[in-house]
Chains A and B, each alone.
Chain A
Amino acid sequence: MGRHASADFSMGPAGVESGAQTKRGRRPTIWETLTNERNFRWTLVVPLLVLLVIFAFYPLFYSMYFSFHDWGMQGSPVFSGLRNYRQLVHDTTFWVAFGRTIEVLVICITIELLLGLGVALLWNREFKGQNIVRGLALLPLLVAPLTLSLLWYFLLDFNFGAVNQLLGAMGFDKVYWWAPNKALFTICFITIWQWFPFSAFVLLAGLKSLPKDVFEAARVDGGSSFYTFRRLTLPMLSPLIMIIIVLRAMWLIRLMDPLFGTTRGAVNTELLDWIVYRTGFVMFDIGYGSAMAVVSWAATMVLCLIMFRQLMNSMRAGR
């Protein structure tokens, strides 16, 4: 496909070719070599690749190197073989954080999808002021997660927080939202609050692009609205639901800012990346921290690869 297109391209009297004719008999300059038909596409990609090698792949291999060493940022790294990994296997704190991250993933994505679907169905019509309403609902997505979590920490404060004051005014007991058994769910709540508009808008765009005639046919045939929803709307939305799940999972695995803004990893809220951060930058155990980072990277890659395959399948089925 690509090769075919480029063959078509060279047929046109492109600037490079006519330039080569007038300057015949001279070796092409570096610029001409870079922009000729064969090389140009690669010239365009090279800056990106260089950047990724320096900033993404080099650190990855550097992390792997450190994970086989002991180092506390002083002196030089000492080779320690698999010791860090052996320690990691038996480290309950790490695996508890791992499980907790999965828990957050499942809770947040499920509720975001349900809320998002509800809102998308609600706003899937023309109404007065729809642009203003949608614009306002979009806002949380554009505000820094850190700022929002600081804000929620304030709102959920036991004594002065607005939420507890409202609860008190309505005759309920005040709730200590940051208690060890609640803090994780409170963080989930903040995340869901910020991100359900994302699902809502992606699904809304999906609903708007559905073919109308199919739904009219279903109505003529007397299908109830719930039946139409379950048998027509939901299957047609499934590729988008997959996209939301994949993207949100990618972002949620690295959930970090709400922890900084609220509990700072205390009371049972340490997640995967937080533990890596704490080991590397608070305890300065670079070797062990790198081993954790590598394991968490590998887990993320496996998860993403599986989900990407699912995504591709459902997109193909949707066509």
Chain B
Amino acid sequence: MIKRVLFWLVTTVVLLFVLFPLAWVYLTAFKSNADIFDPRLIRFVVFKPTLDNFRNLFSQYPFWQNLLNSLIVSIGSTIITMLVAFPAAYSFARWNTGGGDLLFLTISTRMFPPAVAAIPHFIVFKTLGLLDTHWGLMLLYVFLNVSFATFLLYGFFDQVPKELEQAAMIDGYSRTEVFRKIVFPLIKPGLAVTSVFCLIWAWNEFFFAFLFTRNVARPVNVLISSFWGGLQVQYGLMAAGAAITILPALLIVGFMQRYIIRGLTFGAVKG
């Protein structure tokens, strides 16, 4: 009994530690400026809720447009990433193409510090007129995500036994049929996890978005960061913006918790 109480006590402490700042975002988003800067402790939770922050965010700033930019760029880059990574991962897993070296080369590009790529990319993008465009940002995110996506998918493909495919081929299935009827159903969870990771990373990315966009293609993260700085920090607006951009993460955790944990371990642990 004491053990159970202790277990829940520690679990609660851990959860409070993790969730307190996130709860804080939602509390602050509904506070008026006077309440945000009120030093009394009771104002943490007891205050008169207001929608002013959200109203200002949508009326005085191009919040809709930036949210839409984030959406376009993250979905577009995820689609391109998957179109490139999916066949490559299948080839690596099925035929061991390049004997492992090629796969390592692919992963190694993920170790490049972003600043190495940022300067040349900036110059090339400037010449090609890709700065501050959706396409430019999409291509950058494809580059940032594609090697990891390939690696993740490789792990999932690797768990599909080759014998299964061979048996089906001997039974007279064509390659497309083998893929559609045997490999694809087995790989579906892996496909979902990898796409979700790509989506989240593109949605959350800041450094390249900050450098490569100004107005037209500016994602919502960059707008939120602009509330920081200069003489005053607009905490209310910042919190309202953050509260909205955190929503996709909340939804995904709700739906896919189990699969995400599987993806995090990269097939290193079976189970």
Contact = CB atoms under 8 A, between A and B. Distances in A.
Interface in B55-74: none
Nearest to B177: A15
Nearest to B27: A162
B99 interface: yes
Contact of B11 (A122, A143, A256): A122
Interface residues of A, number: 100
B116 A52 contact: no
Interface in A1-43: 1-2, 5-6, 8-9, 11-16, 41-43
A166 to B, nearest CB: 8
Contacts of B18: 136-137, 139-140, 193, 197
A201 interface: yes
B108 A9 contact: no
Nearest to B246: A143
Contacts of A152: 21
Contact of A281 (B10, B118, B120): B118
Given A122-B11, A148-B21, A135 B118 contact: no
Interface string A112-156: 000000010011000100010111111110111111101111110
B175 A198 contact: no
B109 A56 contact: yes
A131 B257 contact: yes
A165 B162 CA distance: 61
A56 B112 contact: yes
Given A139-B250, A202-B264, A165 B41 contact: yes
Nearest to A274: B115
Given A48-B88, A127-B7, A160-B36, A257 B207 contact: yes
Interface in B85-125: 85, 87-88, 90-92, 94-99, 102, 105-106, 108-124
A137 B15 contact: yes
A133 B11 contact: yes
Contacts of B260: 138
A286 interface: yes
A45 B88 contact: yes
Interface residues of B, number: 104
A227 interface: no
Interface in A83-132: 119, 122-123, 127, 131
Most chain B CB inside 10 Å of its own CB: which residue of A144, A256, A276, A292 = A144
A201 B253 contact: no
B172 A239 contact: no
B7 A142 contact: no
A152 B17 CA distance: 13
Given A47-B88, A122-B7, A146-B221, A41 B97 contact: yes
A232 interface: no
A117 B12 CA distance: 17
A48 B17 CA distance: 41
A43 B91 CA distance: 9
A145 B175 CA distance: 43
Contact of A147 (B91, B105, B242): B242
A51 B105 CA distance: 13
Interface string A257-275: 1001100000000001100
A9 B91 CA distance: 14
B246 A202 contact: no
B113 to A, nearest CB: 5
Contact of B44 (A1, A9, A44, A162): A162
B24 A151 contact: yes
A147 B253 contact: no
B95 A151 contact: no
A66 interface: yes
Interface string B185-208: 000000000000000100111110
A41 B90 CA distance: 9
Contacts of B205: 144
B184 interface: no
A75 B238 CA distance: 40
Contacts of A15: 174-176
A133 to B, nearest CB: 6
B271 A139 contact: no
B254 interface: yes
B147 interface: yes
A215 interface: no
A94 to B, nearest CB: 12
B32 interface: no
Contacts of B19: 136, 139
Interface string B207-237: 1001100000000010011001000010100
Interface of A: 1-2, 5-6, 8-9, 11-16, 41-45, 47-49, 51-52, 55-60, 62-63, 66, 119, 122-123, 127, 131, 133-140, 142-148, 150-155, 159-160, 162, 165-166, 169, 193, 197-198, 201-202, 204-206, 208-209, 239-240, 243, 250, 253-254, 256-257, 260-261, 272-273, 276-277, 280-281, 286, 289-290, 292-294, 296-297, 300-301, 304
Given A47-B88, A52-B105, A134-B261, 14 more contacts: A5-B166, A8-B166, A14-B174, A15-B175, A45-B97, A60-B120, A62-B123, A122-B14, A133-B15, A144-B206, A150-B228, A193-B21, A201-B261, A208-B269
